[in-house]
């Protein structure tokens, strides 16, 4: 499938999605959202694919935010009528049960930072810069920034970022727990693809359930979360891949997964 604003390729069991509007620093307009919804749905439905990586084209930006030019003349009633930005969570985050990684290669501002935080984890280049500068435009985050950033880095830094609009560099992002690792820009894609290959080679039901378990930690109490974790663990013990994984360990050989 050919897209206008993104590039999608399969590399073995990994789907690589590249935001491809470098002239606008990969700003996220409604076409990008529609195409990402399609690309993620294809990834989710394709049993040969185990993990996805999303990155930005060019060396400057992952994504410099929602497209300001598209939003500047839009009437408020239309933002509300369309439930503007709702699709990011409902059609991408919630609809994608398989794991995906954001490889942040430069500016990740506003919606760009929010898109990166929708991924299961972020790997950043040493040139990456994160920020929620919406306040400077007279608005506020609208794709999860105030919620996901606060959960990722805590109140002090989230307030600082949202109220001053300042950027956080890669080192601060790693220190703050926003990203899992920082690598030189020229090693970013290979590092993210390697992580994705590792995940794609795992038993797929276990991968989905591990993701689900970690996400539940953000939604519920510790006690309920611990019960849900045990139940998911117990469900996984009924899978053929559990029998295979434990047999493979005992027999000192790699497991061969069926996804059931």
Q: Does 14 contact ligand HXC by CB under 6 A? A: no
- Cβ–Cβ < 8 Å for 134, 89: no
Q: Does 87 contact ligand HXC by CB under 6 A? A: no
Q: How many CB atoms lie within 10 A of CB 151?
A: 14
183-199 core/surface letters (b: 16 or more CB in 10 A; e: else): beeeebbebbbebbbeb
Stretch that binds ligand HXC, among 87-95, 138-146, 198-206, 243-251 (CB under 6 A): 138-146
For residue 44, indicate whether it is catalytic.
no
Q: Where are the alpha helices (DSSP H) in 12-83?
A: 30-45, 68-71, 76-81
Please pick, from the candidates 86, 95, 139, 159, the single residue that binds ligand HXC as defined by CB under 6 A.
139
For residue 108, list its beta bridge partners.
63, 130
Please pick, from the candidates 35, 120, 134, 174, the single residue that binds ligand HXC as defined by CB under 6 A.
134
Q: How many residues make contact with ligand HXC (CB under 6 A)?
A: 20
For residue 154, indicate whether it is catalytic.
no
Among the listed residues 114, 128, 144, 152, the single catalytic one is: 114
Q: Does 144 contact ligand HXC by CB under 6 A? A: no
Q: Write the DSSP symbol of residue 91.
A: I
Burial of 126 (0-12, 13-18, 19+ CB in 10 A): middle
CA distance 22 to 43: 23
Please pick, from the candidates 50, 56, 65, 255, the single residue that binds ligand HXC as defined by CB under 6 A.
65
For residue 134, indicate whether it is catalytic.
yes
Q: Write the DSSP symbol of residue 25.
A: T
For residue 123, list its beta bridge partners.
103, 181
Q: How many CB atoms lie within 10 A of CB 252?
A: 6
- Closer Cβ to ligand HXC, 107 or 257, answer by number: 107
- Closer Cβ to ligand HXC, 109 or 189, answer by number: 109
CA distance 191 to 210: 21
**What's the Cα-to-Cα distance from 187 to each of 51, 105, 181, 182, 253, rounded to whole Å?**
19, 10, 12, 10, 31
Stretch that binds ligand HXC, among 45-53, 66-74, 91-99, 232-240 (CB under 6 A): 66-74
- Cβ–Cβ < 8 Å for 85, 136: no
Minimum distance between the CB of residue 125 and ligand HXC, rounded to whole angstroms?
15
Minimum distance between the CB of residue 80 and ligand HXC, rounded to whole angstroms?
11
Minimum distance between the CB of residue 59 and ligand HXC, rounded to whole angstroms?
12
Q: Does 111 contact ligand HXC by CB under 6 A? A: yes
Q: Does 142 contact ligand HXC by CB under 6 A? A: yes
Q: Does 69 contact ligand HXC by CB under 6 A? A: yes
Q: Does 99 contact ligand HXC by CB under 6 A? A: no
- Cβ–Cβ < 8 Å for 245, 229: no
Catalytic sites, residue numbers = 66, 111, 114, 134
The residues that touch ligand HXC, with contacts defined as CB under 6 A, are 24-25, 27, 64-69, 71, 107, 109-111, 133-134, 137, 139, 141-142
């Amino acid at each position: 499938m050919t897209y206008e604003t993104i590039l999608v390729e399969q590399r073995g069991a990994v789907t690589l999605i590249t935001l491809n509007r470098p002239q606008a620093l990969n700003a996220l307009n409604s076409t990008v959202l529609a195409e990402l919804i399609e690309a993620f749905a294809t990834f989710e439905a394709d049993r040969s694919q185990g993990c996805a990586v999303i990155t930005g084209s060019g060396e400057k930006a992952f994504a410099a935010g929602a497209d300001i030019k598209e939003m500047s003349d839009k009437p408020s009633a239309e933002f509300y009528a369309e439930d503007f930005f709702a699709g990011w969570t409902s059609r991408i985050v919630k609809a994608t049960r398989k794991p995906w990684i954001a490889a942040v290669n430069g500016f990740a501002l506003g919606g760009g930072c929010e898109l990166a935080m929708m991924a299961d984890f972020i790997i950043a280049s040493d040139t990456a810069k994160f920020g929620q500068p919406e306040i400077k435009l007279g608005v506020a985050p609208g794709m999860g920034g105030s919620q996901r950033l606060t959960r990722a880095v805590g109140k002090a830094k989230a307030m600082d970022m949202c109220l001053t609009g300042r950027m956080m560099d890669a080192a601060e992002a790693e220190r703050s727990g926003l990203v899992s690792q920082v690598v030189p820009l020229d090693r970013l894609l290979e590092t993210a693809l390697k992580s994705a290959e590792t995940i794609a080679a795992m038993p797929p039901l276990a991968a989905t359930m591990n993701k689900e378990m970690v996400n539940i930690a953000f939604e519920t109490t510790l006690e309920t979360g611990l019960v849900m974790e045990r139940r998911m663990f117990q469900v996984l013990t009924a899978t053929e891949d559990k029998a295979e994984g434990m047999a493979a360990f005992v027999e000192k050989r790699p497991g061969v997964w069926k996804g059931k």
